[in-house]
Amino acid sequence: MTTKQCKVNGITISYEESGSGEPLILLMGLGAPGSKWAPHIAAYEKEFHVYAPDNRGAGRSDKPVAYSYSIEDMAADAIGLMDSLKIETAHFNGISMGGAIAQYIAVHYPERVRSVILTNTFPYCNVSFRRAIEILREANGQLDPVTAGRLTQWLIFAQPFMEEHEDFMLEGELADMAYPYPMPSYAFKAQCNAILAFNEYRNLPSIKAPVLVVAGDRDLFVPVSLTMEMVSAIPGAQLYMAPNGGHVQHWEQLEKYNQITMDFLLKHKTDKKG
């Protein structure tokens, strides 16, 4: 992957770029940089020209104080990145908050969308999910990094995975929930507030692009009921529910997730040859 930057909507957006072929834009979730897509980019880059931006406030992108952090604004950043790179249309995959951004793009910028994967995401915040986001928001900056990381792990990993892979979570690559280029507390809280204000549910029936929804059936963070509401609202949406998968089933069951999403993307390539 190559890290690049461009000016979008008055701020600098950093993004990872890799591969060749039809454009695929990967939108990451709360607090995380685009580089966290690396295990999936390794599969996607074989068939697609992949772009993984850092959302405003995260990674190497600007972390403005005076600018909004709404889902609408982050969607505009993604579209601005496409404009800067002269990308007319693209496939999208969004994880969690990134899936909210992808929904907004599919609804409000339909002419820019070839296909959409919505991973571990939500159409709005129900009470349970809202409470989880509020806890993370208020705990940010109050807890020490180790405790904060353990809280995050407990929320996003499935219980079966935690029971079977404790050593991996304590010492492996998933142990450190901190990322390079630390995110200021105000920026993290601003992203939380963007999630809390998001509600695109009533507009989902207008989506025309092919949609695949991927989720885990043991997701504590985003309840399965929210997933099912979203699937029911999107015309023709396909669903893959990962057995025993948590909010990060895309890490817990990496090979299966990459296979399911790659099959969907290849099915909807405009140029079947490459």
Q: Residue 224: which region, alpha, beta or left (left: phi > 0; alpha: psi -120 to 50)?
A: alpha
Q: Is the pLDDT of residue 166 over 90?
A: no
Query: pLDDT for 77-95, tens place per residue?
Result: 999 999 999 999 999 999 9
Phi, then psi, of 168 in degrees rounded to 5: -65, -40
Query: pLDDT for 43-60, tens place per residue?
Result: 999 999 999 999 999 999
Q: Is the pLDDT of residue 20 over 60?
A: yes
- Does 183 reside within a domain? yes
pLDDT band at 176 (very low <50, low <70, confident <90, very high): low
User: What is the per-residue pLDDT for 145?
Assistant: 82
Q: How far is CA 190 from CA 31, 74, 136, 137, 194, in A?
A: 10, 12, 12, 9, 6
Which of the residue ranges 14-28, 143-157, 163-177, 229-243 would you say has the lowest mean pLDDT?
163-177
Q: What percent of the chain has pLDDT over 70?
A: 95
- Does 153 reside within a domain? yes
Which distant-in-sequence residues (6+ apart) come within 8 Å of 253 by Cβ? Answer: 242, 245
User: What is the per-residue pLDDT for 172?
Assistant: 61
- How many independent structural domains does the chain possess? 1
- Does 130 reside within a domain? yes
- Does 112 reside within a domain? yes
- Does 274 reside within a domain? no
Average pLDDT, the chain: 93
- Does 136 reside within a domain? yes
Question: For 241-245, what is the mean pLDDT?
Answer: 97
Query: pLDDT for 105-122, tens place per residue?
Result: 999 999 999 999 999 999
User: What is the per-residue pLDDT for 55?
Assistant: 97
- Does 273 reside within a domain? no
Q: Which domain holds residue 154?
A: 2-267
- Does 254 reside within a domain? yes
Q: What CATH number did the domain enclosing 53 receive? A: 3.40.50.1820
